[in-house]
């Protein structure tokens, strides 16, 4: 780990961990309110994870921070995956170190901007397989979400199904970018005056 990264992590930990410790103490536990089963079959508190009945604003803040840090990690991981999965480590032979290539892209290149590196999309079969699997997964989660909505005995699985659907669609976008989009690196001369 680089020294700069370690310094940022230490500063964040020094600030956030004491705040989170205090925030996680929360409020006193509250009594669960149940629905009269003789009147309705709706089960809003049913779920596979035991969740608290009430969260203090400070606890919500801790959850939001963890969610944001997790999101940053997922985005960094997705970016690394896209580069690792299909981008070659070496520059193509037609890329030239002095800032020009044989490839001509007239909509990008001008007298002040030129293509330095170009990797065509791999369009590999595994990309199609991965995209097909993710599309099916998104459809399954969408069907589960719809089925949960149409059932009378609704539970807290709405969030799980919606998260599965949206994460599948996001992974589908990542897979499309990784296997079916070219990688083009452009240099541009800019004036600072």
Phi, psi of 144 (to 5 degrees): -65, -40
Task: Give 175 or 86, the one with higher predicted confidence.
Answer: 175
pLDDT at 95: 46
Burial string for 111-142 (b: 16+ CB within 10 Å, else e) reads eeebbbbbbeebeeeebeebbeebeebbeebb
Phi, psi of 188 (to 5 degrees): -135, 135
CA atoms of 27 and 48, how far apart (whole Å): 24
Model confidence pLDDT, tens digit, residues 38-77: 776 666 656 666 666 666 777 777 888 888 888 888 888 8
CA atoms of 88 and 122, how far apart (whole Å): 10
Tokens at 23, concatenated:
């925030």
pTM over 0.75: no
For residues 47 and 157, the answer to whether their CB atoms sit within 8 Å is yes
For residues 165 and 142, the answer to whether their CB atoms sit within 8 Å is yes
Token pair 């919500």: residue: 60
Task: Give 177 or 25, the one with higher predicted confidence.
Answer: 177
What percent of the chain shows pLDDT beyond 70?
Answer: 72
What residues are paired with 118 via a beta bridge? 184
Nearest to 130 by CA among 165, 175, 83, 182: 175
Is the predicted pLDDT of residue 177 greater than 80, yes or no? yes
Is the predicted pLDDT of residue 185 greater than 50, yes or no? yes
At CA 105, angle to CA 99 and CA 109, rounded to 5?
A: 55
CA atoms of 150 and 147, how far apart (whole Å): 5
Tokens at 6, concatenated:
């370690």
Model confidence pLDDT, tens digit, residues 123-169: 888 889 999 999 999 999 999 988 887 776 566 677 888 889 999 99
For residues 182 and 119, the answer to whether their CB atoms sit within 8 Å is yes
């Amino acid at each position: 780990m680089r020294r700069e990264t370690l310094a940022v992590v230490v500063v964040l930990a020094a600030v956030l961990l004491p705040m989170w410790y205090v925030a996680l103490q929360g409020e006193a536990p509250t009594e669960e309110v149940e629905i009269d089963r003789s009147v309705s079959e709706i089960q809003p508190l049913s779920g596979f994870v035991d969740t608290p009945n009430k969260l203090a604003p400070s606890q919500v803040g801790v959850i939001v921070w963890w969610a944001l840090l997790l999101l940053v990690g997922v985005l960094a991981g997705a970016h690394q995956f896209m580069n690792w999965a299909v981008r070659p480590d070496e520059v193509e032979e037609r890329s030239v170190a002095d800032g020009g290539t044989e490839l001509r892209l007239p909509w990008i290149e001008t007298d002040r901007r030129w293509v330095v590196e170009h990797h065509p999309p791999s369009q590999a079969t595994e990309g199609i397989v991965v995209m097909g699997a993710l599309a099916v997964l998104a459809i399954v989660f969408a069907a589960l979400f719809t089925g949960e909505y149409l059932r009378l005995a609704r539970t807290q699985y709405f969030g799980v199904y919606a998260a599965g659907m949206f994460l599948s669609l996001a992974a589908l976008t990542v897979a499309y970018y990784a296997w079916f989009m070219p990688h083009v690196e452009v240099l541009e001369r800019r004036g600072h005056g």
